[in-house]
A and B are shown apart, each in its own frame.
Chain A
Amino acid sequence: MSKQAITLTVNGVARQALVEPNQTLTSLLRDELGLTGTKHGCGVGDCGCCTVILDNETVNSCLVLAMQAQGREVLTIEGLAKGAELHPLQQAFVDAGAIQCGFCTPGMILSAKALLERTPRPSREEITKGLSGNLCRCTGYEKIVEAVQDAADKMSEA
């Protein structure tokens, strides 16, 4: 089967791409659309580095076929900042030192964003549960949890 044309919305912008049936959403975003903020980690849905928000739900984009994104809306880490102004979650991660190597960060932040949309003032337990599909091998998670708590506080004040 040859490549097929698909259309989808990425970070609010309508996009088109030619994709192979066996191409994943990760590959569509990185290789076809040049959005390399989405990382390719384990490739089997364990690590969460490739997390994106597909129609308001977090998914491991390594386990979604590009063709399954036809007509749907994708939010990646590139879609969070407004110009030079970081999203409160991004700023909180920087301020708390929750980023070390940075490879897990885009997925972590998107999982945290989905969590805060459902639960604007999460408990520590709700945060760890909300981020349980994202592995970090650097930080030991403490500063990530702090960053999400700080962002939640700031976002609720605003």
Chain B
Amino acid sequence: MLLPSFDYYHPQSLPEALSLLGEMGDQARPLAGGTDLLVNLKLKKLAPKVLLDLSGLEELQGNGTDEGLVSLGALNTASRLASGGPEVPGLLAMGAGSLGSPQVRNRATLGGNLVTARPAADICLPLLALGARVVLAGPSGQRQVSLDGYFKGPGYTVKEPGEILTHVLLDAPRPGVGGGYQKLGLRQAMEIALVNVAAHLELEDDGKTVALARVALGAVAPFPMLSPGAAQVLQGAPAGEKIFTEAAEAAAAEARPIDDHRGSAAYRQDMVRTLTLRALRQALSQAQGSKEEQA
């Protein structure tokens, strides 16, 4: 399968990339891992005149922690996130590790997954549950956007064509916090989820009461969505089967799946309930485990 013709630029700094993007407008597309963009070019879904390879941009590389806040560079590959490390929350590592295949994970990037914004994106869901923010750099400076409000539709976000996503900001992993990720597909690898759920739990010092919870649902709406109902049920309640079952019901009630060739809406709705329950159990065991480790 052949690529259409285009010009290739390899800027060496963020200001250079932004100025090229400003000059060329929507004729240009930033290129990160290429695992979505180059496929879309080959399938003739996109025909940009210019590809702007971001791999030379130091500003988009590397991770750091500052006062309890983790900053992850947009060029982190899914493999790098899946292998964890002190800055990477377990929930994000789980999602990144379930994306595509080893070859795809070695190329696919954090920023690419967020900009491509597919409804079942394996990196977007954990980040949404973790309450992450993205940093967008544009011609007039930087702005931060909460992920809850970033997604607008399939492949469509609040990012302007002249902006480049440079970083993701989130709370540093800490004791008493846990995550669960559940992905249902028709096969175990190289799969876009039929339904996927990411759950994030923060426990009070008693190790039982839920201080904060977020449940993110994938493939059941035009973009990755949070379930406010599930969060509300969980907050302030004692973590356990009873409240998890109620939260799973709330999540299923809020999911807005459609029928398609991969599965029916009714089946997806049922699976939201099942997967939410499993993800919450997983999150609780991780949260309590990290609490014990500290003790």
Contact = CB atoms under 8 A, between A and B. Distances in A.
B7 A133 contact: no
Interface size class of A (residues with CB under 8 A): 20 to 34
B266 interface: no
A51 B1 CA distance: 16
B24 interface: no
B190 A60 contact: no
A43, A45, A60, A62, most chain B CB atoms within 10 A: A45
Nearest to A19: B8
B69 interface: no
Contact of B35 (A63, A68, A114): A63
Given A44-B1, A48-B101, A68-B55, A59 B8 contact: no
B71 to A, nearest CB: 24
A21 B8 contact: yes
B84 interface: no
Contacts of B5: 20-22
B10 interface: yes
Contacts of A129: 102, 189
B79 interface: yes
Interface stretch (B14-22, B38-46, B221-229, B252-260): B38-46
A111 interface: yes
Interface in A98-149: 111, 114-115, 129-130, 132-134
Interface size class of B (residues with CB under 8 A): 20 to 34
Nearest to B43: A44
A115 B103 CA distance: 11
A47 B6 CA distance: 25
B188 A63 contact: no
B280 to A, nearest CB: 26
Nearest to A2: B7
Interface string A1-22: 1000000000000000000111
A132 B8 contact: no
B4 to A, nearest CB: 7
A105 to B, nearest CB: 16
A132 B189 contact: yes
Given A21-B51, A68-B53, A132-B188, A51 B103 contact: yes
A45 B8 contact: no
Interface in A40-94: 42-46, 48, 51, 57-60, 62-65, 67-68
B208 interface: no
Contact of B107 (A22, A23, A46, A60): A60
A38 interface: no
A22 B53 CA distance: 13
A60 B103 contact: yes
B102 A133 contact: yes
B39 A63 contact: yes
B106 interface: yes
A44 B40 CA distance: 9
Given A21-B51, A133-B189, A133-B190, A60 B104 contact: yes
10 contacts: A21-B8, A24-B3, A44-B1, A45-B103, A48-B101, A58-B102, A59-B107, A65-B51, A68-B34, A111-B103
5 interchain residue pairs of minimum CB distance: A133-B101, A43-B1, A132-B189, A21-B8, A22-B3
Interface of B: 1-8, 10, 31, 34-35, 38-39, 42-43, 51, 53, 55, 79, 100-104, 106-107, 188-190
